[in-house]
Amino acid sequence: MSGTVVAVSSNSGYSFSKPNRDSVRLLAGLGVEGDVHAGTTVKHRSRMAKDPTQPNLRQVHLIHEELFTEVGEEGFEVEPGELGENITTRGVDLLALPVGTLLHIGDEVVLTVTGLRNPCPQIDRFQDGLLKRVVGRDAAGNVVRRAGIMSIVEEGGEVCPGDTVKVELPSGPHQALRPV
pLDDT digits (tens, 9 = 90+) for 12-65: 999 999 999 999 999 999 999 999 999 999 998 888 889 989 999 999 999 999
| Domain boundaries along the sequence of the chain | 2-168
Residue 44: predicted pLDDT: 83
Q: What percent of the chain has pLDDT over 90?
A: 90
Residue 50's contacts (CB-CB under 8 Å, 6 or more residues apart) are none
Tally Cβ neighbours within 10 Å of residue 160.
14
Summarised one tens digit per residue, pLDDT across range 83-136 is 999 999 999 999 999 999 999 999 999 999 999 998 888 999 999 999 999 999
Kindly report the CATH number that applies to the domain delimited by 2-168. Answer: 2.40.33.20
CB 5, CB 88: distance < 8 Å: yes
Residue 138: left (phi > 0), alpha (psi -120 to 50), or beta? beta
pTM, entire model? 0.96
pLDDT over threshold 90, residue 172: no
Residue 177: predicted pLDDT: 97
